[in-house]
Homo-oligomer: A and B are copies of this chain.
Amino acid sequence: MEINIILFPNFETLDVFGPAEVFGKVEKFRLDYFSLNGGIITNNDNIRIATKKIEDIKNTAASVLFIPGGTGTRIEINNPELLNAIKKIAENSKYVLTVCTGSALLAKTGLLDTHKATSNKRAMDWVKTSSDKVLWDDDARWIKDDKYYTSSGISAGIDMALSFVKDLFGFDEAEKISLRMEYNWQTEN
């Protein structure tokens, strides 16, 4: 099961690598990192990650699309090429997960219309400008609606990732990972 992670300049560090830590412990998951044009993607914490091109994503009916947040989403929300790519991949993916303001990028494609979703509470006013057809939740740490999982900021993405593992493979599997991470998993959203 492919976990296809979308990166862009100034993605939020832990939005990506918290869930990556969780998903990397699941035997059935294979993680890979993509950006619109491939190559090295840099962020605010001076992390430089090597990525493949989005067009090289193995987009199967069993694959998972993962979109982080970060200050870079304020730029990418105006990048139709990226949004179109996200829309195309999201439509064909089994699940789509977003952390923080990543939900604004997904909402902008229209795919979250009529769905419940959430985002970083400190960025909610801005996130809501991405779509007025999404049923935005101002309180949840994360929300699952149909195949869409959206979460609040940073660490909330880890809680969502663990809950995603729980939904697919059971509580024990998720708890085992949280214990190995010495992480205080907030199991309730």
Binding site for B on A (CB under 8 A): 12-14, 16-18, 20-21, 23-24, 30-33, 40, 44-50, 120, 122, 141, 152-156, 180-184, 186
**What residues of chain B lie closer than 8 Å to A32, measured between beta carbons?**
46
CB-based contact B49/A23 at 8 Å:
no
Instruction: State whether A44 and B24 are in contact (beta carbons under 8 Å apart), knowing that A182-B154, A182-B155 are contacts in the complex.
Output: yes
**What residues of chain B lie closer than 8 Å to A45, measured between beta carbons?**
17, 20-21, 23-24, 31
**What residues of chain B lie closer than 8 Å to A156, measured between beta carbons?**
182
**What residues of chain B lie closer than 8 Å to A48, measured between beta carbons?**
33, 49-50
A-B contact pairs, 29 of them (CB 8 A): A13-B17, A13-B21, A14-B17, A14-B18, A14-B181, A16-B17, A17-B17, A17-B18, A20-B45, A20-B47, A21-B45, A31-B45, A31-B46, A32-B46, A33-B46, A33-B48, A49-B49, A50-B50, A122-B180, A141-B182, A152-B182, A153-B180, A153-B181, A154-B180, A154-B181, A155-B183, A155-B184, A156-B182, A184-B186
Cα A111 to Cα B23 in complex, Å, equals: 35
Instruction: State whether A47 and B18 are in contact (beta carbons under 8 Å apart), knowing that A156-B182, A181-B154 are contacts in the complex.
Output: no
A157 to B: closest C-beta gap in Å: 9
Cα A154 to Cα B156 in complex, Å, equals: 16
Cα A47 to Cα B120 in complex, Å, equals: 25
Cα A134 to Cα B21 in complex, Å, equals: 29
**What residues of chain B lie closer than 8 Å to A153, measured between beta carbons?**
180-182
CB-based contact A154/B21 at 8 Å:
yes
CB-based contact A21/B30 at 8 Å:
no
**What residues of chain B lie closer than 8 Å to A181, measured between beta carbons?**
14, 153-155
A87 to B: closest C-beta gap in Å: 25
Choose among B14, B23, B122, B184 the residue that contacts A21 (Cβ–Cβ < 8 A).
B14
